[in-house]
Homo-oligomer: A and B are copies of this chain.
Amino acid sequence: MTLPQAVASPQPAASGAHAGPHIAHSRLDNGMEVVVIPDHRAPVVTHMVWYRNGSADDPPLKSGIAHFLEHLMFKGTKNHPQGEFSSLVSDLGGQENAFTGHDYTSYFQRVPREHLATMMEYEADRMTNLVLTDEVVAPERDVVLEERRMRTDSDPGAELSEAVQAALFAHHPYGTPIIGWGHEIETLGREDALAYYERFYTPENAILVVAGDVQPADVEKLARDTYGRIPARGAPPVRRRPQEPPARARRHVSLADEKVEQPTYERVYVVPSARTAETGEAEALEVMTHLLGVGQSSRLYKQLVIEKPVAVAAGAYYMSSSLDATRLWVYGVPADDVSLDEFDTAIDGVIADFIANPPGDKEFERAKTRLVADAVYAQDSQVALARWYGAALAIGETIEDVSGWSARIEAVTPEAVVAVARKWLDKRRAVTGYLLPEAAA
């Protein structure tokens, strides 16, 4: 089962928790947002810049440009030649990374706290001073094409997921892979990259997130002295995304390949995201997904893997953090003597039973408790914490949306969970994917 949602994507936004840290949130004069998350457990700092543009904002005929530019952002600036920034982070004993999602692009470093100012200088520098020549652009395009060949074109599971997403979204760019279509990546050049950079890499479009052993006032002053020197452009860039027409047809995608040894199954529904849902619906979907398919006490696992057993794996996954309507997966691996069609029918049975015989109070409260506990536990990671806030703000959520998440999960009722299952787990609008050995084609 492959769920390639992002090139190095963050985890699902099981965001925030009980009595989280005191977050400072402000804005520079040029429009750039500043978020500081104090965390004094160790003398380190996580420094992230998020841009509110991802692959779903790629211009027509230019799929992959968001991800390609993320690569090119490591190619040096007017002030610092290629490799200098990365070498510096490494010399400081730090880590760095970058990732492109459908809705955002992000850059981060984790270093000893005394080097925060340096990170900010370098990151602010490459927000405006990137230098791109054909000599660096062309070979990097080959790197990306090779990345695509390795990750997708040589992996039948990834190919199937790509075809499933394409079938799921007839019109919305979530149907286009983050890395782009190969034949369009091949055409991306220096001019495309610079035009994209000019459009999206602006202070109005950026969010600074700093988590670590720092004081908000100090970070804000450093931000003014680095990012604050970048001139405002006047307005944030506009995201122009085709939206999806209503779907009524059930779709099925199957891919057979000689590299496949074990048939696998995925079913994907388009469902509301944290941004598009009516009040309470995203939280109910979160709890519902947990009850249905997260962990070994979930309905799917218990009924299909333990009780019957018709599967060796079964679960569900809800990607709540998304600017537009998002996806909910039900997936699994059937047992040796079970066909994918039989497994499909068995999943229908689990969902129908879930609606007819919803979880009792005990099952229900245990799921909510664990969901919230998982979130609290995950906050233990400074990087994960910074990612939650960054991703949430990048898709238009507020600090309060994140910090109030646990309370909203606690408020979900059993009735709301059954209601969202009944409303959204509608197979008539879903795509089902089968990955098969070549012989079974």
Contact = CB atoms under 8 A, between A and B. Distances in A.
Contacts of A159: 248-249
A61 to B, nearest CB: 6
A175 interface: yes
Contact of A240 (B61, B163, B249, B257): B61
Interface in A357-393: none
Given A166-B170, A167-B167, A176-B171, A254 B243 contact: no
Given A249-B163, A255-B250, A175 B181 contact: no
7 contacts: A60-B242, A61-B242, A163-B248, A170-B175, A184-B243, A249-B254, A252-B252
Interface in A294-309: none
A176 to B, nearest CB: 7
B253 A249 contact: yes
A323 to B, nearest CB: 16
Given A60-B240, A171-B181, A176-B171, A250 B245 contact: no
Contact of A253 (B160, B166, B171, B250): B250
Interface in A253-280: 253-257
Contacts of A163: 170, 247-249, 251
A253 B251 contact: yes
Contacts of A150: none
Contacts of A176: 171
A428 interface: yes
Contacts of A249: 159-160, 163-164, 253-255
A130 B159 CA distance: 48
Contacts of A250: 253-256
Output the residue of A240, A249, A250 with the most chain B CB within 10 A: A249
Nearest to A435: B249
A197 B322 CA distance: 37
A170 B166 CA distance: 5
A217 interface: no
A183 interface: yes
Given A60-B240, A170-B175, 5 more contacts: A60-B60, A63-B171, A163-B251, A183-B245, A250-B256
A404 interface: no
Nearest to A436: B250
B255 A181 contact: no
Given A251-B253, A255-B248, A170 B171 contact: no
A254 to B, nearest CB: 5
Contacts of A245: 181-183
Interface string A198-219: 0000000000000000000000
A85 to B, nearest CB: 34
Contacts of A253: 249-252
Interface string A161-205: 001101100110001100001111000000000000000000000
Output the residue of A167, A181, A182 with the most chain B CB within 10 A: A167
Nearest to A241: B61
A184 to B, nearest CB: 7
A441 interface: yes
Interface in A302-324: none
Interface in A63-87: 63
A348 to B, nearest CB: 12
Contact of A428 (B63, B252, B256): B256
Contacts of A166: 170-171
A282 to B, nearest CB: 22
Contacts of A256: 250, 428
A242 B170 CA distance: 14
A328 B132 CA distance: 45
